[in-house]
């Protein structure tokens, strides 16, 4: 029997004004680049409090460009928490580095300073960069981690694909995720399940002008049309020293990671709704927490980190399936038959066949335990508020009485 999911764990929220913005982009002179891209990047940078924002074709493309921009290449070592989506490890791996996986907290799924330090020792104390993951929308302890990294000259890239709209604090000061106050680069995804969407797309933020220029170049084939960058003057300029109209130069190996103007128009329209969407997610999370408080102790929401305001990308509970007398797959199947979508985020990346062959002996207990019990329940701005309106809670109730 085919079942339709009426309440998926995550989905986009597209309204009439988003559709109008996309239609307007389609009628404009630019379908790639142009004012929609520039405006989107300007407003995104302002929203997260960074100097520069570069939009690109996906979060993965953003992570790849970040890897190159901080100088990663064959022979480098990079630490990645194993509890994340594949792309956090794959993107630096594209540059030929060795990926050293770090463990995470068994309850929150976050890599703590102690996990980072253990991984640095395991890497032989030679580490070039760390890719942090703000799992589920809660942030890692950035001030503590950046202290460890600054002492050792380790570059920091934040994979904030779960955390657009989140904040963290240190000594009473609040920082927005993406402001790069404790990192070199932050990368966001605007895939449909994330805080806001541009269909497919990503955004990279940084405060470093050199990194910014490098990423602009990597996004567009490593080519430039700016005369003051030209190296081959004889080929570039006419006899009256005017740059030849057809001329461009390629100085480094680059990619085509540009987003279309259509995607940027959608991203810009959605950016205006970020606060509204996050508020909605916070309210849902509060309702869920209250619901689980009064329920069977075999289901526990992940603990809330006190120093951060989560973006609530995912609402994760840990379930003792044995106590509940049902396997995870059976529970997911039963919920699916009732139209409720759930998901497991994630199988630890070091256990994937591709990575396992580099890590045969590796055992990361915190991640293993997290993975055994976690389940992501539906949270997204399309789910109506109010305890009475949340149909899927009643459906779940039947299984956990």
Ligand X SMILES: *Cc1c(COP(=O)(O)O)cnc(C)c1O
Residue among 267 and 381 whose Cβ is closer to ligand X:
267
Nearer to ligand X, 135 or 319 (CB): 135
Q: Which residue, 230 or 257, is less far from ligand X as judged by CB?
A: 257
Distance in angstroms between the alpha carbons of the first and the last residue of the chain: 27
CA distance linking residue 66 with residue 63, whole number of Å: 5
Q: How many angstroms separate the most distant Cα atoms in the chain?
A: 84
To ligand X, the closest distance from the beta carbon of 131 in angstroms equals 9
By beta-carbon proximity to ligand X, the closer residue of 162 and 182 is 162
b (16+ CB within 10 A) / e for 282-307: bebbebbeebbeeeeebbbbbeebee
Nearer to ligand X, 366 or 390 (CB): 366
Closer of 10 and 112 to ligand X (Cβ): 10
For residue 390, the minimal CB distance to ligand X (Å) is: 24
How far, rounded to the nearest angstrom, does the alpha carbon of residue 120 sit from its chain's CA centroid? Answer: 23
Nearer to ligand X, 88 or 260 (CB): 88
Nearest to 300 by CA among 370, 357, 240: 370
Strands 77-81 and 129-133 turn out to be: parallel
Least Å distance, CB 201 to ligand X, is 7
What would the DSSP string read from start to end of 290-332?
A: HHHHTS-TTEEEPPPPTTEE---S-EEEEE-HHHHTS-HHHHH
Min dist. Cβ of residue 248 to ligand X (A): 28
Query: Nearest approach, Cβ of 80 to ligand X (angstroms)?
Result: 10
Nearest residue to the partner ligand X, using Cβ: 59
DSSP code of residue 229: G
CB of 57: closest distance to ligand X in angstroms? 8
3-state secondary structure of 377: strand
Least Å distance, CB 189 to ligand X, is 3
Q: How far apart are CA 48 and CA 40, in angstroms?
A: 12
Interaction site with ligand X (CB under 6 A): 58-60, 84-85, 87-88, 133, 159, 161-162, 189, 191, 202
Q: What's the full length of the chain, in residues?
A: 401
Closest CA to 152 of 113, 181, 101, 185: 113
């Amino acid at each position: 029997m085919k079942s339709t999911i009426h309440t998926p764990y995550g989905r986009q929220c597209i309204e009439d004004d988003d559709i109008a913005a996309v239609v307007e982009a389609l009628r404009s002179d630019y379908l790639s680049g142009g004012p929609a891209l520039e405006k989107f990047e300007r407003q995104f940078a302002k929203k997260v409090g960074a100097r520069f924002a570069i939009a690109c074709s996906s979060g993965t493309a953003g992570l790849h460009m970040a890897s190159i921009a901080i100088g990663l290449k064959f022979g480098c070592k990079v630490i990645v928490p194993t509890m994340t989506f594949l792309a956090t490890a794959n993107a630096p791996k594209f540059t030929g580095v060795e990926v050293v996986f770090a463990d995470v907290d068994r309850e929150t799924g976050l890599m703590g300073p102690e996990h980072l330090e253990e991984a640095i020792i395991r890497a032989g104390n030679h580490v070039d960069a760390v890719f942090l993951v703000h799992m589920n929308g809660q942030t890692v302890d950035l001030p503590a981690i950046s202290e460890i990294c600054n002492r050792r000259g380790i570059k920091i890239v934040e994979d904030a694909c779960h955390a657009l709209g989140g904040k963290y604090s240190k000594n009473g000061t609040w920082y927005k995720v993406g402001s790069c106050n404790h990192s070199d680069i932050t990368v966001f995804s605007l895939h449909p399940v994330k805080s806001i969407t541009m269909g497919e797309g990503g955004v990279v933020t940084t405060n470093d002008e050199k990194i910014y220029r490098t990423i602009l170049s990597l996004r567009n084939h490593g080519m430039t049309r700016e005369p003051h960058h030209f190296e081959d003057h004889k080929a570039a300029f006419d006899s009256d020293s005017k740059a030849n109209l057809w001329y461009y130069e390629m100085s480094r190996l680059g990619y085509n990671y540009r987003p279309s103007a259509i995607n940027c128009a959608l991203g810009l329209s959605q950016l205006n709704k970020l606060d509204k969407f996050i508020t909605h997610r916070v309210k849902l999370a509060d309702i869920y927490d209250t619901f689980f408080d009064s329920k069977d102790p075999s289901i526990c929401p992940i603990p809330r980190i006190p120093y951060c305001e989560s973006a609530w990308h995912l609402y994760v509970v840990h379930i003792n399936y044995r106590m509940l007398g049902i396997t995870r797959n059976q529970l997911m199947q039963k919920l699916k038959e009732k139209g409720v979508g759930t998901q497991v985020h994630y199988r630890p990346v070091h256990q994937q066949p591709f990575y396992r062959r580099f890590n045969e002996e590796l055992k990361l207990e915190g991640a293993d335990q997290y993975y055994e019990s976690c389940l992501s329940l539906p949270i997204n701005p399309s789910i109506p508020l109010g305890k009475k309106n949340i149909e899927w809670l009643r459906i779940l109730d039947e299984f956990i009485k």
